[in-house]
Chain A
Amino acid sequence: MLLIPCPYCGFARPEIEFRHAGAAHIVRPEEPASDAAYAAFLYERDNVKGITAERWRHVHGCGRFFNLLRDTVSDRILAAYKPGEKKPEIAG
């Protein structure tokens, strides 16, 4: 069970307090959007071996959504940051 740092609460808590909420930084394309662009927004996701950005919600804690950088190989958590904040630059 992972220990996940919540950037709102300021400490790490066990994974059972959180809910995974999909890939981070997926933005609905500006209209008018092509069908291809919209399909990519809906369905095309990276399946990263290495550092991935994903959304989590501290659903049994503060209730806030936030972003996490996690290495999918080691499961090491590299950064937690709030929505709207820039994705931290981490060499992967």
Chain B
Amino acid sequence: MSGFRSESVGAIDRARRLNFTFDGVPYQGHPGDTLASALLANGVSLMGRSFKYHRPRGVLAAGAEEPNALVTVSRGPGRVTPNLRASEVELHDGLVATSQNRFPSLAFDLGAINARLKPLFPAGFYYKTFMGPALGGKAVLWNRLFEPLIRRAAGLGRPPEEPDPDEYASTFAHAEVLVIGSGEAGLRAAFDASANPATRVILCEMENDFGGWLRNAAPGSADSRFRDEALATLCARPNVRMLARTQAFGMFLQGFVALAERVTDHLAEPAPDLPRERLWQLRAGRIVLATGALERPLVFPDNDRPGILLASAAHALLARNGVIPGRAIAIATATDSAYDTAHVLREAGGNVVAILDLRGASAAANAARAEGFRVETGVTLLGTAGKNALKGVIVAPVAQGQRQGPSETLACDSLLVSGGFTPTLHLLSQARGKLRWDETLSAFVPGELPEGIAIAGVATGDFPPAMRGAALGLLPGNEGKAASAFVDFQNDVTVRDIRLATREGFRSIEHVKRYTTTGMATDQGKTSNIHALAIAAEALGQSIPETGHTTFRQPYTPVTFGTFAGPHRGAMFEPTRLTPMHDLAVTQGAIFEDIGQWKRAHALPRAGESVGDAVQREARMVRETVGLFDASTLGKIELIGRDAAVFLDRLYTNPLAKLPVGRSRYALMLNEAGFIIEDGIVARLGENRFHVTTTTGGAARVLHAMEDYRQTEFTDLDVFPASVTEHWAVIAVQGPKARETIAPFIEGIDLSNEAFPHMAIREGRFAGVPCRLMRASFTGELGYEVNVPAGHGLAAMEALLQRAESLGGGLYGLEAMHVLRAEKGYIIVGQETDGTVTPGDCGLDWAIGKTKPFFIGQRGLARPDLVASGRKQLVGLLPDDPQLVPEEGAQIIRESDPSTGVSASGHVTSAYRSPHLGRSFALGLLQDGARRHGETVVLPMPGGRVTLTVTAPVLVDPEGRRLHG
């Protein structure tokens, strides 16, 4: 084809030239061009290959609804954006664009063989062909062969492989009125709404300039003057915010709208401080949808050749970009609006060879004939000639839906089509507004509107006479050629595919959509859905309202991941929580691991030491001398109130109502079903004051649960819980020399075993600062937990470290802590438990107050399944190979050679190497485990089976002598 530039018409800057490349070939365009218009002006009409059949395709539309001309734009490494619509890509100097889905080149594409094989690719082809055969339950051929092949062959552009170096912004906004769309109706709505200076109005427009179809008006015309004046007024009003290049892509309830603003992609050299795109999360009191209408193409054989455009697109390309799409233009229409396009094209120097009116005689046709146009009325289109470019259109007379007489091939290199208009109501539908089928327009129009949403302009369906008229579905005379009449251009869905789906029993339009994939491409069927619906309805022998329509979903046009991610990437992905002693751990060489948002020291290897060796050294050190552990991440809740004791007694399994002041208990929290959800220490500081610790991950959850019961069930109790997690820095001092380590710093607390036994708590001073000192152990050794105000945590740790090192001790990390606690059979909630584990399953029956009248989960524990035999119970596991550390999560079976279908009897929950035992060990949950001590069990692992001996879960100091020392 040979599109060319009009010498007189078009809002481009002819004085300046912009250089760009498409598939490596250099071209020139002008400011004001889109990639599509610049290519057309350079005589390039072949812009892409279709998804499935690799058919040559050109640009169809002038805006966001474009289904064919998808391109990849590269702005350098990591700045590669695939699947952009050439009709929306603004030209700038140096633009680098490439076509997609072709090999080796756009003009000669090997994948086009698929088009020859089209009879083999009906709707549901993949489902029908590639599901079998299965081997051992796996679709081997599908997984290994077909899917990778299809993914490579079919498709869209490739995503960028490097990290995205651009910045993305995110902002919130509020407005009394949001107007979406800046055509005539949108400008009027914004103008009226903003007359009151107190009314904040936001006008958003997805295109690069405001005005919608007013931009097609001739300079100096009444429409053009109206646009200029309205824009000048709106820009001058301080209560109006105008957002161009901003797509309202998602509309939700209660006036909530998501906008994507393209900030820099249209600039050759954007300022470095600008974000590439900006996400707007906007709440508006009232929304006016002035979203206009989209023109529909025509459905007939080979209706997808490059050179076939929507008539409205040709009008816009001429007015905005000065582009005339061909040297010999035919226009096929079911509306009068295409006659206007014929006029403006001729005035701009275009050669309109014929107007083919699919309807009968009309005033518009007669008027056009009088002006010298060749007009044929009452015709149908039977096909097109050409391959990579259009060469002609085949026309025949039609009457009462039947072809009459011989056909004529009309030579043309551009065919403009108008199959009628559809109000753009995607956003209304997203916000759960209702659509109503209008038989006279052959389109869906607004039905019941949600509160606060109004529709303005042609989006209401109140079309001017020129926009009325429709040619739905396959044009008459083409019954035998349904397989080459395309409905959904982007997904290559033909009339035959839709009919086949209905024949195969798909009656719901939602099922027809999924089976044929019509309307499921990145354009979501903006130009095709109504045709697809009409074809399905006809095939099903029912009306369109009976058939219904598919659901419109966000986003209206594709939105980049960058826009959604905004600044929340890398270190900004989520908050990082550091303990007050973090810097000390850093200087001590800690390797950190993420526990929720916390950074915790996994181990602190010395120079030349492996992480594994460090863990072994640290664990041995705690058993032999003393270790210091940063336990500040533990959740801490302080409860006060006259009924705090009663409250805790109800929430935890343990008897806590009569817990003496100065004492603490290891306590379990269950859910209503009776399963362990949390553990920690409940310590009584005073008659009406408690200090409660939780797991690191459970702090917020426990406080939430406490508030829930306090506010909604135990409302008569006087109790107030408050989080003090970040108020106290906590240092666990553990090991036979723990008392010696802390003694020099402690004031006002008698540390003797008699005065301060295991599970006691005292308040005093640590090196002069207030201190809550707990005697507690998660290692099985003599242990203390030193709580000092967070601001003193670092100094306290530094002082203790110096002292500990003088006694042969030092810091230990999370992994050594795990080894030590597992050797003692101490559980980690969430590791030994998974929401189906009771206290009894873990050997923690002793933590349940047997005589308590009530606690959360008490009734749950009495349920039949929880008291039945055969429950999984916590056991120790010693591998026969003492060097082998089994994998956590490995399934335990009791037979060494199980037959297929044998269920696992349990699983490994924790596994470590123990320096104290000089061997590996594990904890696990095993069916009836408590009475299987001494039995041999098996882990079936990929490298062969692992055999282990079941033991009691406590492997170190079962009598607890070290603990109480």
Contacts and interface: CB of A to CB of B under 8 A. Distances in A.
Question: Does A associate with B in a complex?
Answer: yes
Interface of A: 1-3, 14, 19, 21, 28, 31, 33, 35, 38-39, 41-42, 55, 57, 59, 63-65, 74-76, 83-84
B707 A63 contact: yes
Interface in B757-775: none
Nearest to B709: A65
B712 A2 contact: no
Given A38-B860, A42-B860, A1 B712 contact: no
Contacts of B256: 1, 3
B253 A2 contact: yes
A1 B863 CA distance: 40
B171 interface: no
A76 B451 CA distance: 10
Contacts of A35: 863-864
Contact of A75 (B253, B281, B672): B253
22 contacts: A1-B252, A1-B256, A2-B253, A2-B254, A14-B283, A21-B708, A28-B859, A33-B859, A35-B863, A35-B864, A38-B859, A38-B860, A42-B672, A42-B673, A42-B860, A59-B704, A65-B708, A65-B712, A74-B432, A75-B253, A75-B432, A84-B712
B900 interface: no
Contacts of A64: 711
A8 B949 CA distance: 59
Contacts of A39: 863
| 9 interchain residue pairs of minimum CB distance | A83-B712, A3-B254, A65-B711, A75-B253, A1-B256, A42-B673, A65-B712, A38-B859, A42-B672
A35 B868 CA distance: 14
Given A35-B864, A65-B712, 20 more contacts: A1-B252, A3-B254, A3-B283, A28-B672, A38-B859, A38-B860, A38-B863, A55-B712, A57-B704, A57-B707, A57-B708, A63-B707, A64-B711, A65-B708, A65-B711, A74-B253, A75-B432, A83-B712, A83-B715, A84-B715
Interface in B694-715: 704, 707-708, 711-712, 715
Tell me what chain B mostly uses at the interface: helix, strand, loop, or mixed: mixed
Contacts of B673: 42
Nearest to B707: A63
Contacts of B864: 35
Interface string B628-662: 00000000000000000000000000000000000
Interface in B371-419: none
A33 B858 CA distance: 12
Interface in B252-307: 252-254, 256, 281, 283
Interface in B838-866: 859-860, 863-864
A41 B672 contact: yes
B643 to A, nearest CB: 18
Interface string B670-712: 0011000000000000000000000000000000100110011
Nearest to A43: B673
Nearest to A64: B711
B179 to A, nearest CB: 21
B111 to A, nearest CB: 43
Contacts of B707: 57, 63, 65
A41 B252 CA distance: 34
A73 to B, nearest CB: 9
Contacts of A41: 672
Contacts of A31: 859
Contacts of A42: 672-673, 860
A76 B431 CA distance: 12
B435 to A, nearest CB: 16
Nearest to A74: B432
Interface in B232-254: 252-254
B92 to A, nearest CB: 35
B433 to A, nearest CB: 11
A64 B707 CA distance: 8
A65 B684 CA distance: 28
Contacts of B281: 1
B703 to A, nearest CB: 10
Contact of B711 (A2, A19, A28, A83): A83
A33 to B, nearest CB: 7
Contacts of A55: 712
Contacts of B283: 3, 14
A74 B860 CA distance: 36
B637 to A, nearest CB: 14
A61 to B, nearest CB: 13
A76 B452 CA distance: 13
A74 B448 CA distance: 13
Residue in A31, A41, A65 with the greatest tally of chain B CB atoms within 10 Å: A65
Contacts of A76: 253
Contacts of B432: 74-75
Nearest to A55: B712
A90 to B, nearest CB: 17
A65 B712 CA distance: 7
A62 B860 CA distance: 32
A1 to B, nearest CB: 5
A64 B711 CA distance: 7
Contacts of B704: 19, 57, 59
Contacts of A65: 707-708, 711-712
Contacts of A63: 707
Nearest to A76: B253
A1 B252 CA distance: 7
Nearest to A1: B256
A4 B863 CA distance: 38
Contacts of B254: 2-3
B185 to A, nearest CB: 27
A65 B713 CA distance: 11
A3 B281 CA distance: 13
A48 to B, nearest CB: 17
A75 B252 CA distance: 10
A74 B451 CA distance: 11
A76 B253 CA distance: 8
Nearest to B715: A84
Nearest to B671: A42
Contacts of A74: 253, 432
Contacts of A57: 704, 707-708
Contacts of B252: 1
Nearest to B859: A38
Nearest to B254: A3
A39 B866 CA distance: 12
Contacts of A2: 253-254
Contacts of B863: 35, 38-39
Nearest to B432: A74
A21 B709 CA distance: 12
Nearest to B713: A28
Contacts of A38: 859-860, 863
B917 to A, nearest CB: 41
Contacts of B859: 28, 31, 33, 38
Contacts of B711: 64-65, 83
A8 B281 CA distance: 26
A63 B283 CA distance: 24
Nearest to A38: B859
Interface string B706-737: 01100110010000000000000000000000
